[in-house]
Amino acid sequence: MTAAAPRPIVVAEEVLRARAYLLRVAEPSALHTGRLVDLLGPVAAADAIRRGDVPERVADETSARRGADRVDADLAAAADCGARLVVPEDPDWPQWPFACFGLTDKKELAPPLGLWVRGTGSLADLTDRAVAMVGARAASGYGTHTAAELGAGLAAAGQTVVSGAAIGIDGAAHRGALAGGGPTIAVLACGLDRAYPTSHAGLIDRVARQGLVVSEYPPGAVPARHRFLVRNRLIAALSVGTVVVEAALRSGAQRTASDARELGTVLMAVPGPVTSAASAGCHELIRQGALLVTRAEEITEATGRLGVELAREPERPQRRTDVLDETQARVHDALPPRAARDIAWLAVEAGLEQDTVRSALVELERRGLAEFHEGRWQRSVGGGG
C-alpha cells in the first residue's frame, strides 16, 4: 500500500552476508549451527563452516551445502521480490517473542538464523501480542467460517494474526484478518520468490501489502513436507498464543500445537461438533489442557496484556422473574397460568405460610406478574417466561 520508507542501515554488510550464507547452507532447524554462531558471531562462524573447520554436529548440519555460496544471488533474488533479510543483530528482530526458544533444548525447536521478510511493516512491532491461528487444510465450511470470524475479531482488537498461508484454516484466518483491517503475517515453508500454494499467490501478495510474509528459506527453496513441520515452530514462536481451529487427530496443526506448548506460549483450541473428524484434534487438545475458545475476545483475554483486556461476559437471556426473591419465585411458580386460586390453596402448593404468600402476591401484582380476580389469584398473561 504505502511505499517502503528507506530503512536505515543498522546491520554491518558482512553480518548480513554471513547470515544469508548460513540460511542457505544450514537446513532448519539447525541447533548446533546456531550455537556456533552464538559462540563465534555470524561472520567467524560462516568462515569456519566454509572451511569445514567445525565440530562434527555442526558439520552434520552444514557439510552437504557448505560449498553453495550464493549470497549475492540470494540477496538479489530477495530484492527482486521485495524482500529483505532481518537478522538478530537488527533492532527489528522479534527478540522478545523468540525468547521462548530459550525454554527448550529440542533440536527441532532451534531459533532461526535470520528471516527473509517481505512487506513494509516492522517485524518486531507486528509480533507484539500476535496470535497464531492454524488448522486443517481439509477444513469444513464451519471451520473456515470460524477462522475468518476470529481473524477479523483479532484484527479489530489490534492483534496480528500469524499463520501459514495454506489452503483451509490458514487462508481463512489471513483473509479474516485482512477483512478486519488488521495486519497479518504469513510464514512460508519455501523461498519468498515462490507462492505456495499457487492458488494463494494473490492472497500472499495482499498479506505482503497489509502485513508481512516471512521465511527462513532462501529464495528458490521449494516446499517439502519436513519444511512445513519445521516452519510451524516459527508460527508458534512469533505469537503469544496459538489457536487451533480445526485439526484431525494427526495433523500438522497438532504439531504446531505441541511446539506452542513446548515453547511455553498459550495453547487454545476451538471446539466443534463431536461428529466432525475435522474437530477431533481440537477436542483432544482441550482434553489435554488447551484452553477452549469460542470468540475473539476470549483469545484476546488469554493473550492480551494482563488485566488490560478481559472478555466481556457473554449476554445472557433476561426474564422478568429474574428479580424475584426465592419466596416470590416460589409463589409465582405455584400460580396456575390459566386457573385462579385462593391463598390457602397457593400456600399448600408453594409450601409456605399464608401470610408469606399474601405479601409475595402483593409484590408480584406490583410487578405485573400476578392478577387478582374475585378473591382469587392467577398468573398474568405474558408475565411468566
Which residues form the interface with its own copies (CB under 8 A)?
A: 26-27, 61, 63-65, 68, 142, 145-146, 222, 224-227, 248-250, 270-275, 279-280, 283-284, 286-287, 291-292, 294-295, 298, 314-317, 329-330, 332-334, 347-354
Whose Cβ is closer to its own copies: residue 81's or residue 291's?
A: 291
DSSP of 176-215:
HHHHTT--EEEE-SS-TTS-SSGGGHHHHHHHHHHSEEEE
Whose Cβ is closer to its own copies: residue 315's or residue 374's?
A: 315
The residues that bridge with 163 in the sheet, in sequence order, are 186
Whose Cβ is closer to its own copies: residue 175's or residue 332's?
A: 332
Minimum Å gap between C-beta 248 and its own copies is: 7
Rounded Cα distance, 107 and 279, in Å: 30
What's the grid cell of residue 184? 497479518
- Non-local (6+) Cβ contacts of 305 within 8 A are 129
Minimum Å gap between C-beta 113 and its own copies is: 13
Rounded Cα distance, 40 and 34, in Å: 10
Whose Cβ is closer to its own copies: residue 194's or residue 206's?
A: 194
Residue type, 224: A
Longest CA span, the chain: 107
Minimum Å gap between C-beta 84 and its own copies is: 24
Q: Could you give phi then psi for residue 215, rounded to 5 degrees?
A: -155, 150
Q: Is the dihedral of CA 20, 109, 118, 64 positive or negative?
A: positive
Whose Cβ is closer to its own copies: residue 181's or residue 273's?
A: 273
Minimum Å gap between C-beta 123 and its own copies is: 25
What's the grid cell of residue 149? 470470524
Q: What is residue 367's DSSP assignment?
A: T
Whose Cβ is closer to its own copies: residue 82's or residue 142's?
A: 142
- Non-local (6+) Cβ contacts of 68 within 8 A are 24, 25
Minimum Å gap between C-beta 92 and its own copies is: 27
The answer to whether the bond into 88 is cis (omega within 30° of 0) is no
Chain length of the chain:
385
Minimum Å gap between C-beta 242 and its own copies is: 17
Minimum Å gap between C-beta 119 and its own copies is: 27
What's the grid cell of residue 110? 532451534
Whose Cβ is closer to its own copies: residue 93's or residue 377's?
A: 377
Whose Cβ is closer to its own copies: residue 4's or residue 348's?
A: 348
Whose Cβ is closer to its own copies: residue 44's or residue 68's?
A: 68
Rounded Cα distance, 162 and 230, in Å: 15
Q: Could you give phi then psi for residue 48, rounded to 5 degrees?
A: -60, -40
Minimum Å gap between C-beta 378 and its own copies is: 14
Minimum Å gap between C-beta 295 and its own copies is: 7
User: How far are the Cα atoms of 334, 335, 371, 372 from residue 353, in angstroms, in the given order?
Assistant: 13, 15, 20, 19
What's the grid cell of residue 305? 496484556
